[in-house]
Structure 1
Amino acid sequence: MSDRYVLMGVSGCGKSSVGAALGPALGARYLDGDDLHPATNIAKMARGEALTDADRWPWLDLVGTELAAPNMILGCSALRRVYRERITKAAGAPVCFIHLAGSRALIGGRMAARAGHFMPTALLDSQFATLEPPLADELAVTVSIDQPLAGIVADILAQLQAEKGH
């Protein structure tokens, strides 16, 4: 298994909240990948424009570089397999991806209720269109977010423990 984790999923799935709660449980530091975006990416998303792969590559490299440190949890959409591969390569060590999965309706409602975030709800459809859920051959677990935060964290911990047993 790994001691480097990426909480992944579409915008609004709860990466920041889960990361803040999961960090102490794993004895790991949480870092929000949104904080690593260059100002140009944030401005583009704030205008309602989806990022291109060219926009994402430097950011994904930085995400991976941050994960080179052990005992780290980082929130990053990591929507496509190629993005996850790039992050892992930049980290130089195994990275476990924790997919926070939920329906469009659930996540859209959460996004509409949050204040002060640069990502508009209008981009959610493009996020779901881009999403490639992790496959069985990837170092990843998937957890339903259609439950209270404590349940999400408990599910993650149980799945990570089960993976360590394999």
Structure 2
Amino acid sequence: MAPIVPGAVIVIMGVSGAGKTTIGNHLAEAANCAFLDADDFHPDSNKEKMRKGIPLSEEDRMPWLQMLCKALKERITNGEITVLACSALRKNYREILRSSDPNHIPGRQGSSVKFVLLNVPVEVLADRLNKRLTNGEHFMPPSLLQSQLQLLEIDASEEILQVDATQDPTTIVETIRHSLVQWKIIESY
């Protein structure tokens, strides 16, 4: 699958347990591009806070988002297509990520940073988080799910693709790839 644009980012977003890393990895493989997980950019202090069940503050999040923005800007400038798994729960967080596109004008559509929200019912999210906790697979405890759901802001003007993430990963990835063609990020496949 050949890229059309000289550098773009597809952010797979949602609350913890939505499947961002799984879908992001599958999409990056299908699109033959790089995958980044925003969790890898969190400093140990943020991870420790979350492990203890303490929600991150804005002061905790802003340096993390700025670090992500810097990494994405470099990839866009180098003409690379990148899939990023990132919660990106609030509109202002997404605007920070959009600013990694050197051509982005704040408050306007047209950024080469696109967002895909993985929609999952609360019961399914809680079940997934409990399984991860039991298996020791992630630092985010189920107790923080409610705080993440409260932070989630979706504004229709942002044109965020929303996907039912209770479907199998192959179906989800195909839905997203179809949108990448429509967004003119990749050629038809």
2:83 aligns to what? 73
Residue of structure 2 aligned with 1:140, choices 150, 160, 173 = 160
Q: Give yes or no for the alignment of 1:37 onto 2:42.
A: yes
Pairwise CA distance, 1:139: 4.8
| Structure 1: 5+ residue stretches without partners | none
Once the two structures are aligned, what percentage of the paired residues are identical?
38
Measured after TM superposition, the shift of residue 163 of structure 1 is 3.2
**Cα offset, 1:49, TM superposition:** 0.3
Q: Which runs of 5+ in 2 are unaligned?
A: 104-111
Which residue does 2:118 correspond to in 1? Answer: 100
Residue 140 of structure 1: CA displacement?
2.6
Q: Secondary structure at the match of 1:4?
A: strand
Q: What TM-score results when the alignment is normalised by the length of structure 1?
A: 0.91
> Aligned ranges for residues 17-96 of structure 1 at < 5 Å?
17-68=22-73, 69=75, 70-92=80-102, 94-96=112-114
Most deviating of 24-33 and 87-96: 87-96
What is the distance in 2 between the residues matched to 1:77 and 1:87?
11
> Aligned equivalents of 1:17 and 1:60: distance in 2?
21
| Normalised TM-score (structure 2) | 0.81
Deviations 1:96-136 (A, max 9, x none): 01111111111111111122210000000110011012x33
Across the aligned residues of Structure 1 and Structure 2, the Cα RMSD in angstroms comes to: 1.7
Shift of 1:11: 0.5
How far apart are the structure 1 equivalents of 2:183 and 2:26? 20
1:125 aligns to what? Answer: 146
2:113 partner letter: V
Q: 2:129 aligns with which of 99, 106, 111?
A: 111
CA distance in structure 2 between the partners assigned to 1:39 and 1:7 by the alignment? 23
Amino acid across the alignment from 2:32 = G
Task: Flag the 1:164–1:90 CA change in 2: closer, same or farther, 3 A.
Answer: closer
- Name the amino acid aligned to 1:92: P
User: Larger Cα Rg: Structure 1 or Structure 2?
Assistant: 2
